[in-house]
Structure 1
Amino acid sequence: MADTRTYHAVATQDGAHWVVTVDDLPEGLVGVTQGRTWSEARKMAADVVAMLLEVPEEAFEVVMRPADPDMANAIITAEKAREEAELANKAAAEALAAAARTLTAKATVRDAGSMLGVSHQYIAKLAPKKG
């Protein structure tokens, strides 16, 4: 959803539980909950927002981070690396498809596959012969 509202939550370990405080709520609303696991705490945070705002959970997103700065930074670093890898994978796929089209215009599908280190069947999917 393009217009999905995002609420930020901070989770603090308290013994065997995560205590979650949801930020960004309208003034006067306090969103505090807990869960035994990270997943449960995140679900409970979404439940609290839905209940307080009287909206379905599909109408918003909760981004939860640990209060511990080392943990939060580790998550942020991993997310950024994953996003960069996804962009690099997309660029590699586009470059491979472009190379397949260029090579098959001047060489066989089998040779193009050998040149690019992929199967000739994959090349045939990337650069199908026209007509």
Structure 2
Amino acid sequence: MQQQNQDATSVIEVRGSARGLAVTQRYMEFVNYVYPMAVNWSGKHRVFRDVFLGRALDQTALFNDASKSNQVSRLYLADSGLATLREYLRFASNPARKLMSRHQHEVAEVHLAETGAMLGAWISKLQMGRSR
């Protein structure tokens, strides 16, 4: 019986890791789209650029931590990180700064929305498993 429980646990862990990998892969499409723009922002915006890029690159660690721990609270932290990135995108696309065009902002938002939808489904799935 104990061996059967251990097998079931390892299957759940693998599924959680695979889900985290899919979310991370989708998120990396966002990073690959935004990174070339961000590194070319002018020097007068270097503080914002460094914070933005740091947050964007650190987000993958949040996904990996959530995948390994299988805790809903870690998923909420990852979701919060996506919300922060959305705010940074709004800041960058403000016409007063002109760091991103409206179209670039929309494309980046779509990438984040797709990642967020996958993350939301992951949260729902984990919550459903906990409520049983």
RCO higher in structure (CA 8 A, sep ≥6): 2
The structure that is helix-richer by fraction is: 2
The structure that is strand-richer by fraction is: 1
Computing the radius of gyration from Cα coordinates, the structure with the larger value is 1
